[in-house]
Amino acid sequence: MTLHDPGNLQSFDGMQTRSGMIALAGRPNAGKSTLVNAIVGEKVAIVSDKPQTTRRAVRGVLTRNDAQLVLVDLPGSQRPRDAMTERMQKGVIRAVADCDGALFVLNGQQRSGGGDHYLAELIKQANVPVITVVNKIDLLDKQRTAQALLDTAEFAPGEIYPVSARTGEGVPELIEGLMATLPPGPFLFPPEEATDEPLEVRVAELIREQALARTRDELPHAIEVRVDEIERVEPADDSGTITYVNANLWVETESQKGIVIGKGGRMIKAIGAAARPGLEKLLDSHVHLELRATVRKSWRRDDGLLDRLGIG
């Protein structure tokens, strides 16, 4: 596919700028969220080894001089398992078609299968510039990396970049390649912004990330976090800002609630303690986290609720 000519710039408000939205598409655990964080240079998407960690389209923004790259981290593509994941898959297809380009992310550790080939064809049909990434090369030797690149070249669209999102290897070259695909246009976000996610959502996702890390089987898919209140307080003794966060950890059954609370409240305390450092970095203050567990039956099948949650 022919990429945009990087020399074809136009002037906007006295500046010649490029900008565009690039959709990240790939199967679960390809490392899309880790790659978004590596490109943007800060954590804007949570990371987990659990499939379908990303439920919403998370936008990460990288601005450099005259170019702004907006990455749309999409849910991993797989066969829908419930109403929620069906909505997520439809959202992936729409988002790729609506963006200015696509970044197709493959897990270099795994041999490409029918799902990868199917997704590659969907991306081609969107008729946008595409770059393909073979991720996780830090886990491969040179021979396996070369073979993964050869296998990918047989079906994947666009230029192919070997990358390790975890170590950063190949990321600078990928950024330059992505910047070159951007069409002329004004910046879509203020240059200082790294994401357009509301603060409440970023806080909720950091908590959910730690819940995912401590649960298994079906439970991670049944967990959602809602932030009820964020309040910043400046103590009179000048001891530093304290941010009070009240959040609700939703599950679908009483048995699941028992698991996430744990014996004597140990599990929910561990989730809160693990989430606190990330929250303090995000909020730039000490954090007092009040975390509760609530049963919200069948929330994944409630279309109205999924709309309000911004899923799909």
Query: Are the C-beta atoms of 276 and 289 separated by less than 8 Å?
Result: yes
Asked if residue 5 is part of any domain, the answer here is no
Mean pLDDT of 288-309: 88
The answer as to whether 187 is a domain residue is: no
Domain boundary (181, 208, 237) is at 181
> In this model, does residue 12 exceed pLDDT 50?
no
2 occurs within a structural domain: no
- Least confident segment among 26-35, 245-254, 284-293, 301-310: 301-310
> Which whole-number Å values give the CA distances from 156 to 112, 124, 159, 248, in the listed order?
10, 9, 9, 42
Closest listed residue to residue 36, CA positions, set 3, 66, 64, 62: 62
Q: What is the mean pLDDT of residues 170-181?
A: 96
Predicted local distance difference test score (pLDDT) of residue 94: 73
Looking at the fold, whether 38 and 135 belong to one and the same domain comes out as yes
Amino acid 14: pLDDT: 56
CATH number at residue 235: 3.30.300.20
Q: Does residue 65 share a domain with residue 171? A: yes
Mean of pLDDT values over 201-224? 91
Structural domain includes residue 189:
no
Residues 28 and 146 in one domain: yes
Phi, psi of 237 (to 5 degrees): -85, 10
Backbone angles phi, psi at 296, to 5 degrees: -125, 90
**Are residues 209 and 117 part of one domain?**
no
Per-residue pLDDT tens over the stretch 136-157:
999 999 999 999 999 999 999 9
Please indicate, yes or no, if residue 95 is contained in any of the structural domains. yes
Q: Which domain holds residue 52?
A: 11-181
Domain shared by 38 and 173, yes or no: yes
Per-residue model confidence (pLDDT) at position 206: 96
**Distance of alpha carbon 208 from alpha carbon 222, whole angstroms:** 11
- 113: burial class by Cβ within 10 Å (0-12, 13-18, 19+)? exposed
* Pair (161, 296) in one structural domain: no
